Amino acid sequence: MNLPVEVIEAAREGRCLIFLGSRASGEAAEKVDAPYPDAAELARELGWKRPKSAISLKQKGIVASVEEGAATYAGVHGRPKLIEMLRSRLTGSWGPTETHRALFRRFPLLFTTAQDDLLERATDLPLDVLQRGDRIPDPDPARRILVKLRGGFDRPDTLLLTRADRTARALGPEARKQLRSLLRANVVFFVGYRPDEEEFEALFTDLSDAYGGELPRCHLAVAQGAIDDYLWQKWVLRGLLLFTADPSEAVEEMESSLR
């Protein structure tokens, strides 16, 4: 696996903007042999069923809708039970991995769509934990800033679990403006995502909306193996450069390249 030169140079110059996805949490669970569901498995557990409409999620390049499953589960059992169920499936006895620690060693500002607290436990430096839409202060080398774009289980009121949650908490003008400035000034590197999962699709849509059009060229380390030609072409047309690497592989390669 060869990390893109553009990403390495940006990281060396302090111009790399990292977005970390839930696949990094899955790696942490693997280290203690704990089950961690992928998007398709979790959606089914929540009660999601593939629609029979002509335009299916598969045609859109998404394997399953966790958000629709969450809405179904909440409709039957209520939101508190939904949160309890997801907490039990997506958090556990595992702790931060070297991936989490290395990212916070290298970058004073991180964005994540993971909803656990692994990044919060990955640094001994003072840490400011922000939520979706919060004003992001200027980075301080002596501190770390974590922006949790989908909230966290430690604060259930911040969780974005359904499409209705995302709509209700759409980014405001000031948050979009600040994101736009960050996207223009940095090279974007997505780690711990798959392009056929709703988590990444929703994130990319949020960033594109904030930017006001097609994002500048950015990079995705595709976790858990290769992707098919349809997805490759879909995302390349949207300005995304893809290569296959699990979170640990991508971050380890970055650390090695920057020594």
Sequence spans of domains, the chain:
5-36+95-258
Backbone Cα Rg of the chain? 17
pLDDT at position 54: 46
Instruction: Give the model confidence (pLDDT) of 119-153 as tens digits.
Output: 999 999 999 999 999 999 998 999 999 999 999 99
Q: List Cα–Cα distances, 160 to 72, 134, 148, in angstroms.
A: 15, 15, 10
pLDDT at position 60: 60
pLDDT at position 249: 96
pLDDT tens for the chain, residues 1 to 259:
789 999 999 999 999 999 999 999 999 999 888 889 999 999 999 999 877 664 555 556 678 999 999 999 999 999 999 999 999 999 999 999 999 999 999 999 999 999 999 999 999 999 999 999 999 999 899 999 999 999 999 999 999 999 999 999 999 999 999 999 999 999 999 999 999 999 999 999 999 999 998 899 899 999 987 788 888 888 998 889 999 999 999 999 999 999 8
pLDDT at position 178: 96
CATH of 5-36+95-258, one of 3.40.50.1220, 3.40.50.970, 3.30.930.10, 3.30.465.10: 3.40.50.1220
pLDDT at position 171: 94
